[in-house]
Chains A and B, each alone.
Chain A
């Protein structure tokens, strides 16, 4: 299921998405004494999704700090620490709880550099388990990439593979600005080849993970895998879908998307967040405003989440976000000129 071809020559090992993130954090803790991990139950418990695992045993409670259940305060402490010389990686137990910390993320972290005229920086990383599919229902399953993607000053990434997860977290750490890393919960157990050592997957660059000529499917996180599954089935019918893994929501890689649409003439945006005012609207508008508009052979299609909170019932939950067969169906219609 791994979409990325690992870098040749570099030693790789198979590991899960969660393990890859943990390895990135271990490397960072080893390399830079200013790095600290903060979050609820990330110490002995190992994190709600076992992402920090045994890091507390290796680096001690001063570097792997359990915070009280205080999302606003904890995020703010991370912001203040980043402002004064530490490099905190703050884990939210679920991205949903970032709603409690909006003040510190959106009003403080994102704006401080600007409000202070470039005289300070906030190199904080917020890690957020995101997305639906675990039966956790409405308050533990949301996809907030569009919320945070709307805020100047923030960078927002959504890695889709173990290799990307490690590389993007290390890129986020090297970035002098606040970065939000959305980790899809359903991907934590996914395995893939991960390069050894320190490397970065650039923020702001999308990847063409499957080349094709008939239509472009833009997706991120878990949706990349669903789009690839759909594309594999469509290929048997002779429909060649090009699949783009967005990787970064903000700043968006305009060039890669525009170039692909100019090649294929058809665009399908697939995203887990609620359809209205979401990532699909942004990507559609990007194409509508660009030279790629003249190359379109069909109306742009958006496949986003239902206009509802994520429901508990498993069938409803599946129905609330795009699944592989949905992508396949809409892509087929689009390729055949049926929309």
Chain B
């Protein structure tokens, strides 16, 4: 006796058609935004470096699916997707990447520090593992002030070997804080495979050391990620404490713009590209009658337009005044 509902993926059962279409739009937006950023970088409009999350879109969007602006996230150096998933505007993101005053950080942060405090994004972090204790602090605030918001802490497989990871998970667990640790295991920390650098097979196993649930899911399967987060968020909101979710995924691009890609094979990359999370989610929506092919194309086209408009907004935006170099160091100067 099988309930037919069981054959329907979690996300389709859980979310409205509009929510699902919006999720697909955000996944396209992330992909196209990052391709646009890459192109802008090649054209010299963006300086410094950049870490692209192309291939990891399901992880970002499905993780943030049930969050409101009151819920917080902390993010990593590979944080563009998280920022868009949480609701940021791509125009202001491009403006930040172009170093403009209209950017989210008024040109002081760039790609690696992209944030949008109003939508609850407390910021990307240039320090591997840097956001972990900060997320626990945000969850402490929620608990102390009696708010029911949760904090999602994104980090990579490389970060799970930092001391900050262990200290943060332990404190979150002893104080039963509403925080969910989301490990985006894309297999490599720069060139170092997680299988080499981490003693346990699945990073989620480390949850056992901190007496919290650990789940390893297919990070390219939107529903699998959304389902795991649904459970973890419910647990956090109920006051039952933190969880660790590991999204197994892959970054198609190199670690950053300086990567010569000597540590992985073409075959491996192609194999993962054939598991494109966006195509998979789109096909799933079509298969379940949420969308037809035409509708899917329209969503992608709208995202493309938003990216083009965003680049234009950023290009036309003013640069910060040179004389403002020390503005925002302290509160008084921010006035």
Binding site for B on A (CB under 8 A): 33-34, 36, 62, 67-68, 70, 72-86, 88, 103-104, 107-108, 112-121, 152-153, 155, 175-177
Contact = CB atoms under 8 A, between A and B. Distances in A.
B306 interface: no
B137 A79 contact: yes
11 contacts: A73-B133, A73-B166, A74-B133, A76-B133, A76-B134, A76-B137, A112-B123, A114-B328, A115-B123, A118-B327, A119-B105
Interface in B96-113: 103-109, 113
A108 to B, nearest CB: 6
B329 A113 contact: yes
Contacts of B145: 33-34, 85-86
Contact of B106 (A103, A118, A153): A118
- Enumerate the 6 nearest inter-chain pairs by beta-carbon distance, A residue then B residue, closest first: A80-B137, A76-B133, A73-B167, A117-B106, A80-B134, A117-B105
Given A68-B174, A76-B136, A79-B137, A107 B330 contact: no
B168 interface: yes
B329 A81 contact: no
Nearest to A63: B144
B28 interface: no
Given A36-B144, A120-B117, A152-B329, A104 B133 contact: yes
B77 interface: no
A79 B328 contact: no
Given A77-B133, A84-B122, A117-B103, A103 B164 contact: yes
Given A115-B113, A120-B115, A73 B331 contact: no
B282 to A, nearest CB: 34
B328 A86 contact: no
A19 B127 CA distance: 38
Contact of B331 (A67, A70, A152, A176): A176
Contacts of A107: 126-127, 130
B138 A80 contact: yes
B141 A81 contact: yes
Contacts of B166: 73
B171 interface: yes
A84 B123 contact: no
Given A68-B171, A81-B138, A118-B106, 5 more contacts: A34-B145, A72-B164, A78-B137, A80-B139, A108-B134
Nearest to A155: B330
A70 B170 contact: yes
Interface in B316-335: 326-331, 334
Most buried by A among B104, B130, B167, B174: B167
B114 to A, nearest CB: 9
Contacts of A62: 144
Contacts of B142: 84
Nearest to A34: B145
Interface of B: 72, 74, 103-109, 113, 115, 117-118, 122-123, 125-127, 130, 132-142, 144-145, 163-164, 166-168, 170-171, 174, 326-331, 334
Given A83-B134, A85-B145, A108-B134, A116 B168 contact: no
B140 A80 contact: yes
A79 B134 contact: yes
B170 A117 contact: no
B331 A113 contact: yes
A254 to B, nearest CB: 16
A240 B134 CA distance: 51
A115 B137 contact: no
A77 B171 contact: yes
A73 B329 contact: no
A74 B329 CA distance: 24
A120 B74 CA distance: 13
Given A74-B171, A113-B330, A85 B141 contact: yes
Contacts of B329: 113-114, 152-153
Given A73-B164, A177-B331, A83 B171 contact: no
B167 A153 contact: no
A80 B174 contact: no
Contacts of A120: 115, 117, 122-123
A77 B104 CA distance: 24
A224 to B, nearest CB: 26
Nearest to B106: A117
B167 A70 contact: yes
A114 B324 CA distance: 11
Contact of B137 (A33, A34, A77): A77
A119 B106 CA distance: 9
A176 B330 CA distance: 8
A116 B167 contact: no
A113 B106 CA distance: 11
Contacts of B134: 76-77, 79-80, 83, 104, 108
Contacts of B132: 73, 76
A70 B171 contact: yes
Nearest to B147: A85
A72 B130 CA distance: 10
A115 B109 contact: yes
Nearest to A71: B167
A77 B328 CA distance: 23
Contacts of B174: 68
Nearest to A75: B133
A119 B115 contact: yes
A74 B167 contact: yes
B326 to A, nearest CB: 8
Given A114-B329, A115-B105, A117-B109, A73 B144 contact: no
Given A34-B145, A72-B133, A117 B107 contact: yes
Contacts of B168: 73, 76-77
B167 A72 contact: yes
A82 B166 CA distance: 21
Nearest to A117: B106
Contacts of A115: 105, 108-109, 113, 115, 123
A117 B137 contact: no
Contacts of A153: 329-330
B137 A83 contact: yes
